[in-house]
Amino acid sequence: MKLNMMSSPYKHSHKSLTGVMLMVALAAVPGILAQCYFFGTGVLIQLVLALVCVTLFEAAVLYMRGRKMWHTLQDGSAWLTGLLLAVSIPPLTPWWVIVIGCFFAIVFVKQLYGGLGGNLFNPAMAGYVLLLVSFPVQMTSWLPPAELMHHQVGLLDELSMIFSNYSQSGYSLEQLRSNVDGITMATPLDTLRTDVSHGLTVAESMVKPVFGETAGIGWLWVNTAYLLGGLLLLQQRVINWHIPVAMLAALSLCASIGYIFDSGNQPGLAFHLLSGATMLGAFFIATDPVSASTTNRGRLIYGAAIGVIVYLIRTFGGYPDAVAFAVLLMNMAVPLIDHYTQPRTYGHGAKS
Amino acid sequence: MDSLLARISRGQLWPSPGGVHPPVNKSQSNSLPIHILPLPPRLVLPVKQHIGAQGHLLVNVHEQVLKGQALTKPHANWSVPVHAPTSGRIIDITPMPSAHPSALPELSIIIEPDGEDRWCELVPHPNYRELTAERLVDILHFAGISGMGGAGFPTYIKASTKQQIDVLIINGAECEPYISADDVLMQAHSEEIVRGIEVLRHLLQPKLTLIAIEDDKPKAIAAMEQASANIDDMQVRAIPTKYPSGGEKQLIQILTSKEVPAGGIPADIGVLVQNVGTMYAVQQAVELGKPLIERVVTVTGDTLAEQRNVWALLGTEVKHLLAQQGFTPEPMQRVIMGGPMMGFTLPTVRIPVVKTTNCILAPSAAEMPMPGEERACIRCSACADACPASLLPQQLQWFAKTKEYKKLEEHQLFDCIECGACAYVCPSEIPLVQYYRVAKAEIREQQIEQIKSDRAKERFEARKERLEREQEERRNRHKRPRRSTEQDSQSKEKVAEALARVKRKQADKGDDKTRLPPPLPVRKRKRRANNLSRITVT
């Protein structure tokens, strides 16, 4: 009788890479729905565009590299990159922006570094940063929340905006973003930093309608929704607690200290935690396993450093939000962090 | 230490890092009583079944042997004998595939049972407490007992340790899925096991004895608690079910909070671990005089009509075990010796049960699907979270793939116990343990090569030096003037001496005319000299 020989273990947990990626995508659904609700369904159009682009780019590179195309595509990592990029950009950004972003993220940041697992940088964030520095106008043209908008836009308007820059009724993005007084509305983070730089105090700036109660209409709920998704990921053990907890704790600490010493110019804790990309960053972006630190102690350092950098750039830097920059900066430090935070192996030192 | 000992004896447990919770799959086999198999048509007994050296053969081909008769005699350190598991005739002594992952042939004694199952004369020692420690250790040694839990370390060595043992741990954790051999043995023979533990306690005099059993074996826990109820300083400890809590190092950590130092043994921290099956064998050997000739083996897997535990004579071929349980092989069938996490697949079913064989697993394809294709590592470090030794399995995997041996050693590859928890959880289905095994083997080979090449280099350099020295000497001799004056005078003296010697001899033998020709007349001598001079001139 011919027996089959193989190496142990023969049992597997049936946890699969595709399953992990799917779970992350699933956990992002509440956040995406919140974005749709407050900022229109443009994000869904961007999402479809991104998924098509990453699939094509990934498949093309895999073909050129002589890899198994379908087998590798199935791991779902490219789709997750597309998803994260799509939810990070303003919903009515012209179509070519996301195409360029996907191209750079997949071809340069991911595949040229050796494909999944080989990339030093988070592909979605590297793609985002490329777009932000190359097309600053498009990349910061966030719509105000629907309830503040003068002209309401439907799905067809959004399609038309993305592909032809004008809504069906002929409005440009600038017009759509303007309030009744003809002044363009920016995101809460952007508004606040502009106002503070113009000499207003935080309290004076925050009376603007875009802020709502605390962290901005819509943004508060989008962040809460991503927080919920993040908790699901923790509960499902898809991510470890170290990075999000360290990042949020460091950001909170910095924000609190800043608020205590300089409450005139700095918003408080709630604003930092619930505005911008804080929760998306903490649970979905900084936790990208490939580019994050791999030791538990290292993850605490990595997460905390991202929190600090986000605070520093938001408060003193040139950009309103900073999750992407913070993540990329810390990506570079990962090999070093990993080297110095190796856990103590059983039987080495300590107790004897 | 004493306060720690107090905490240990109060029942405190400590966490061990990592670990996984695979489905235990023990209920298939642990509810039926241990079955006694009919005699197999032949028994194949490898002469060496444990760590250490093999013994000297005591028997020849065609010899008739009795059940329990010693077939080998221990000779070097760490060697223990093997005994005939039943009476019969030795039909061959030849290398046979071994019960080892490599299945490399090992010298084996093949016995054809005669069906009478006749015991040799046994020498029981019910009053073993009256014996000396050396004598008692010898009984364990000559009964052929080696650890029956895993590595098969000779028990007599552990039993005669010179180090002070504070805590004796009896390992009945049996954390690996599917295996229930220790479980059913504890259920059926708790009294004997406890009596075996008493033998070891008598030898080692530990301050505390703990019998560790995972809490998914309530019947075994109850049986052992009952059997050990009236004994001081012996406690049964139910530990949380988690793989690999039954690993020696992990068990020590859970029960005592201590860690075996890297490269050390448990006795270094005052702990000694023995398997429950070994304790049963000790009791049988000491109180009944029976050597180790059989053991409990779990025969399980969905390709079998009946999954249960059996008493298998050592040397019984796996084929016989499977056939007795109604084995229906599938295409691509795997037969695993050991459990699904650490066992090894057999190349053939004609591999014998040895002292360390606790399970034969013949799973169906549905039960244990073939692994999927390996995908890229995403550094999720689920493996690191599962590692009981706090290693970084994914880092090790990268280094193993790129053959960075120095990095592997820096990341303590050799502290990996190969439990398979990392590969079990890996979402990319990377066969991590396989990479480590290969890397370990390559590093060991490289070290051997290194030693060899160092030696060769030493030899080569020594030779080169010698050759250079000789050449130097030759050159110097060349440069030297033909004869130094000193040498000249020396040789002149030598010549003079030689001449004198010759003259003396001639003088001594002067009277012996028969042997020496008469000296030539002076004129003749002169003429010859002239001739010679002429020749030299021309």
- A interface mutation test: which of B260, B302, B375, B397 has the most A CBs within 10 A? B375
B460 — contact with chain A (CB < 8 Å)?
Answer: no
Per-window interface: B 311-330 vs A, CB < 8 A: 329
Residues B199 and B288 in one domain: yes
Q: Which of B468, B488, B505 finishes a domain?
A: B468
What is the residue type of A268? Answer: G
Query: How many residues would you count in chain A?
Result: 352
Residues B333 and B420 in one domain: no
Q: What is the pLDDT of residue B274?
A: 95
Alpha helix stretches (DSSP H) within A65-90: 69-73, 77-88
| B351: exposed, middle or buried (Cβ count in 10 Å: 0-12, 13-18, 19+) | buried
The one-character DSSP state at B96 is E
Residue B323 lies in a domain: yes
Tokens found for residue B98: 């071994």
A350 — contact with chain B (CB < 8 Å)?
Answer: yes
Quick one: average pLDDT of A78-84?
A: 95
Residue B269 lies in a domain: yes
| B534: exposed, middle or buried (Cβ count in 10 Å: 0-12, 13-18, 19+) | exposed
What is the residue type of B451? Answer: I
Residue A211 has pLDDT above 60, yes or no: yes
Q: What is the pLDDT of residue A213?
A: 66
Q: What is the bridge-based pairing of β-strands B336-337 and B344-345?
A: antiparallel
A170: left (phi over 0), alpha (psi -120 to 50) or beta: left
B351 — contact with chain A (CB < 8 Å)?
Answer: no
Task: Quickly count: other Cβ atoms within 10 Å of residue B436's Cβ.
Answer: 22
CA Rg value for chain A:
22
Residues B316 and B399 in one domain: no
Task: Quickly count: other Cβ atoms within 10 Å of residue B360's Cβ.
Answer: 29
- Give the total number of structural domains in chain B: 2
Residues B281 and B389 in one domain: no
What is the residue type of B372? Answer: G
Residues B315 and B210 in one domain: yes
A350 vs B contacts (CB less than 8 Å): 259
Structural domain of B406: 375-468
pLDDT in tens, B213-231: 999 999 999 999 999 998 9
pLDDT in tens, A158-203: 888 888 888 877 777 777 777 666 676 677 778 777 777 777 777 7
Nearest CA-CA partner of A176 in A241, A90, A242: A90
Residues B224 and B264 in one domain: yes
Residue B144 lies in a domain: yes
Residues B423 and B321 in one domain: no
Residue B113 lies in a domain: yes
Residues B407 and B278 in one domain: no
Residues B445 and B397 in one domain: yes
B95 — contact with chain A (CB < 8 Å)?
Answer: no
What gap in Å lies between CA B147 and CA B279, rounded to an integer? 9
Residue B358 lies in a domain: no
Residue B4 lies in a domain: no
What gap in Å lies between CA A30 and CA A24, rounded to an integer? 11
Per-window interface: A 12-41 vs B, CB < 8 A: 12-13, 15-17, 19-20
Distance (Å) from the alpha carbon of B371 to chain A's nearest alpha carbon: 8
Mean pLDDT by groups of 10 residues along chain B of 538 residues: 83 93 92 92 88 81 93 83 94 91 90 93 92 92 89 88 93 94 95 95 94 95 94 93 94 94 91 95 94 95 94 95 93 93 93 94 92 89 93 92 90 92 94 92 90 92 92 81 62 83 77 51 52 45
ipTM score of the complex?
Answer: 0.87
Residue A130 has pLDDT above 90, yes or no: yes
Cβ(A93)–Cβ(A165) under 8 Å? no
Residue B426 lies in a domain: yes
Residues B161 and B278 in one domain: yes
Residues B17 and B126 in one domain: yes
Residues B86 and B224 in one domain: yes
Query: How many residues would you count in chain B?
Result: 538
Tokens found for residue B71: 């077939």
Of B349, B375, B392, the CB nearest to A17: B375
**0.90 surpassed by pTM:** no
Return the H-helix or E-strand segment holding A309.
helix A296-316
What is the residue type of A88? Answer: S
Cβ(B20)–Cβ(B339) under 8 Å? no
Q: Which of B468, B499, B526 finishes a domain?
A: B468
Does B174 or A150 have the greater pLDDT score? B174
Q: What is the pLDDT of residue A99?
A: 96
Average pLDDT taken over every residue of chain A: 88
Q: Check which CATH number belongs to the domain holding B130 and give it.
A: 3.40.50.11540
Q: Which of B345, B363, B384 finishes a domain?
A: B345
Residue B354 lies in a domain: no
